[in-house]
Amino acid sequence: MRNTIQEIISGAYSLAVGMKITICNLFRPTVTLHYPHESATMPARFRGHVELACDPETGKPKCVVCMACQRACPSGCISLDGQKSESGKGKVLTAYSLDFSLCSLCGLCVESCKFDALRFSKQYNLAFTRREECTFNLLERAQVKK
């Protein structure tokens, strides 16, 4: 009997404490972002989808078409093509496509690139209605950006 009464009282007290905690939080500022109006800033190392880095002087992609990224990709979502450059030295990138529907954002391609020609974009609002839209033409994107 005594235990029961004790339990009722301590239980009621614990419930009152719980309600006090929630009511205190009612007056604290919210912690969530108001999404469409505000959005989070991505840290420098954020792994978004990849994009081509351009040489700041020439404005051309730094890529030398060594195919290392294509080989490193576990999902096989990168395909690129190049042709001999006019000056005769090295290759020039002619096509770079990323199949985002396959990409798992692991970042191995960026790690494999010895020429810093690939980097992560900070874009994270990526949603598509058609499958074809998932295939990015990175060369075009790099030129548009410039």
- Note whether 26 binds other proteins by CB under 8 A: yes
**Residue of 1, 2, 21, 58 interacting with other proteins (CB under 8 A):** 21
Please report whether residue 111 would count as binding other proteins according to CB under 8 A.
yes
> Counting contacts by CB under 8 A, is residue 44 touching other proteins?
yes
Q: Which stretch, 23-31, 59-67, 81-89, 136-144, contacts other proteins (CB under 8 A)?
A: 23-31
- Of the pair 22, 58, the CB lying nearest other proteins is at 22
Indicate whether 43 belongs to the interface with other proteins (CB under 8 A). yes
Neighbours of 62 (CB within 10 A): 18
* 90 touches other proteins (CB under 8 A): no
| Amino acid at position 16, single letter | A
CA dist 105 and 120 (Å) reads 9
146: its two tokens: 């410039």
Is residue 19 a contact residue for other proteins (CB under 8 A)? yes
Q: Which residues pair with 50 in a beta bridge?
A: 120
Buried b (16+ CB within 10 A) or exposed e, 101-136: eebeeeeebbebbeeebbebbeeeeeeeeeeeeeeb
Residues 6+ apart with CB under 8 A from 3: none
Closer by beta carbon to other proteins, 8 or else 126: 8
User: Which residues of this protein are in contact with other proteins, per CB under 8 A?
Assistant: 4, 7-8, 10-12, 14-15, 17-19, 21-23, 25-26, 28-32, 34, 43-47, 72-74, 104-108, 111, 120
